[in-house]
Structure 1
Amino acid sequence: MSSAHQIEQIAERVERLLVRYEELQRTNALLAQQVEALTTERDSLKSRLAAARARVDALLERLPIAS
């Protein structure tokens, strides 16, 4: 195999690696956005759950004690 051919093959592989790297960067950015959105949603749901628990606890305290 000639040096020129080897260099050409290496250049092609480097190009493919660069394309794959860019694809992975885009995928990573999208996944980071999804994680951020899901984290925000989780925090909101946790807050709503805490508020609902507080309301249920307040209602339970208002119930008469069975004798």
Structure 2
Amino acid sequence: MAKLEDLAERVDRLVLRHQELKRTSALIEQQLAAVTAERDSLRSRLAAARGRIDALLERIPAEPAPAPAREPEAGA
């Protein structure tokens, strides 16, 4: 009879462990969903910021390259 009781106890522990793991898995899935949504939001914000920066860069007028500075001539 002791073996049957030991087996029943082990099965009970396994069931409890299984329930704990299911709860942990559900929490991890929720965290993953939240982090994924945050990542997608950040990517979207980054793309919008890049677009604004590109638009600003296009508004900057192109300036001709400055002429090299002339050194004073010797004896002048």
Normalization by structure 1: what TM-score? 0.91
Is 1:52 equivalent to 2:49 in the alignment?
A: yes
Which stretches of structure 1, 4 residues or longer, exceed 6 Å deviation after superposition? none
Is 1:6 equivalent to 2:41 in the alignment?
A: no
Aligned to 2:22: 25
Q: CA deviation at 1:66?
A: 2.8
Normalization by structure 2: what TM-score? 0.81
| Identical pairs, percent | 59
Q: Which has the larger radius of gyration?
A: 2
Unaligned regions of 5+ residues in structure 2, if any?
Answer: 65-76
RMSD, aligned α-carbons: 0.7
How many equivalent pairs are there?
64
